[in-house]
Amino acid sequence: DSKSRVTIVGSGNWGSVAAKLIASNAIKLPSFHDEVRMWVFEEVLPNGEKLTDVINKTNENVKYLPGIKLGRNVVADPDLENAVKEANMLVFVTPHQFMDGICKKLDGKIRGEVEAISLVKGMEVKKEGPRMISSLISKQLGINCCVLMGANIANEIALEKFSEATVGYRESKEIADTWVQLFSTPYFMVTPAHDVEGVELCGTLKNVVAIAAGFVDGLEMGNNTKAAIMRIGLREMKALSKLLFPSVNDCTFFESCGVADLITTCLGGRNRRVAEAYAQNGGKRSFDELEAEMLQGQKLQGVSTAKEVYEVLKHNGWLEMFPLFATVHQICIGRLKPEAIVHYREYKA
């Protein structure tokens, strides 16, 4: 069978939009099977129905992307192993904290020539140091893994408003081009970049800056302060990326995955919104509580990424070089007040 079969592992807000983009291309392009499988972490809705059944009946993810048709060729499947077994192209798109468990479940289950791409923004921290999600997938499953990151607030792309994204790849430009083809639509312009670590670190680290931007909004500090926070944040994103992976390319920060994603997330993302509420409440209500109340099952990545980044900085003796990253974590855990987001003098920045 020369046609490729695609499975999407994940079905949250962005996962559902990825399914819509891919389904619209799979049905058009002769090199792909029409059917696109989407693994759904099963849950029972308040009316007693299973989410998977509702998606398959209505063609909508009523919980995570209500009001948007995914495409008739999307089939929701609650069984992870079954969902991936026929696929030779795997798209990973879940909140990053679940990826370790998912990879463990899939260990030894992936056979043949399989390519993967990660849309997951986040990292893990192990004793050996930080591990990006694409390398978790790659190492645990023994497959090549590209990444797709960009200025991509899912709900806007669901409405087919124009945006861009970057596919980061390690070796094969040909494989990157296949992913570009699978995701590209007239309203979603995808560009390849030969810098998988740079692209993934941009997508991951900007979530920490978005938390800082949310504090600035919650404290009504204004546009200049927010721009300053974004600039300092971008500088720290670049510096840390290069310390972790010296191969990271400066140009990557000017792609959609870099400065554009930083801007959109600091203006309109969930990390920003919940951090704004945290600051408005003077840090008295926890992020967990606000996340559950405001996001209704969707997940923040910035708070846990700030903790993971902090561990990396501390372990390497780099805390003083990254005042913004370090301060965000200290505010998130209640050690500093939200106002500290602009107090940098205690650091030798």
List the catalytic residues.
206
Residue in the shown chain whose Cβ atom is closest to ligand 13P: 269
Binding site partner of 323, from ligand NAD, ligand 13P, none, Cβ cut-off 5-8 A by kind? none
- Residues forming a β-bridge with 116: 90, 145
8 A C-beta contact, residue 335 and residue 307: no
Give the up-direction half-sphere exposure of residue 306: CA atoms within 13 A in the CB hemisphere. 24
- Residues forming a β-bridge with 76: 38
Region for residue 297 given its phi and psi (left: phi exceeds 0; alpha: psi -120 to 50; beta: otherwise): left
From candidates 15, 192, 233, 269, binder to ligand 13P by CB under 6 A: 269
Binding site partner of 297, from ligand 13P, ligand NAD, none, Cβ cut-off 5-8 A by kind? ligand NAD
Minimum distance of ligand NAD from residue 295's CB (angstroms) = 7
Residue 206 is a binding residue for ligand NAD (CB under 6 A)? no
Residue 11 is a binding residue for ligand NAD (CB under 6 A)? yes
Residue 265 is a binding residue for ligand 13P (CB under 6 A)? yes
**298-327: contacts with ligand NAD (CB under 6 A):** 298-299, 301
- Rounded to 5 degrees, what angle do the CA atoms 218, 282, 265 make? 35
From candidates 151, 202, 277, 331, binder to ligand 13P by CB under 6 A: 151
Binding site partner of 210, from ligand 13P, ligand NAD, none, Cβ cut-off 5-8 A by kind? ligand 13P
Could you tell me the two tokens for 201?
A: 């670190």
Of residues 306, 261, 32, the one with CA closest to residue 150: 261
Residue 327 is a binding residue for ligand 13P (CB under 6 A)? no
What's the CA gap between 57 and 72, in Å, rounded? 10
What's the CA gap between 302 and 324, in Å, rounded? 13
8 A C-beta contact, residue 107 and residue 99: no
Residue 255 is a binding residue for ligand 13P (CB under 6 A)? no
SS3 state of residue 103: helix
Give the footprint of ligand NAD on this chain (CB under 6 A): 10-15, 41, 64, 93-96, 98, 119-122, 152-154, 297-299, 301
| Site of interaction with ligand 13P (CB under 6 A) | 121, 151-153, 210, 261, 264-265, 269-271, 301
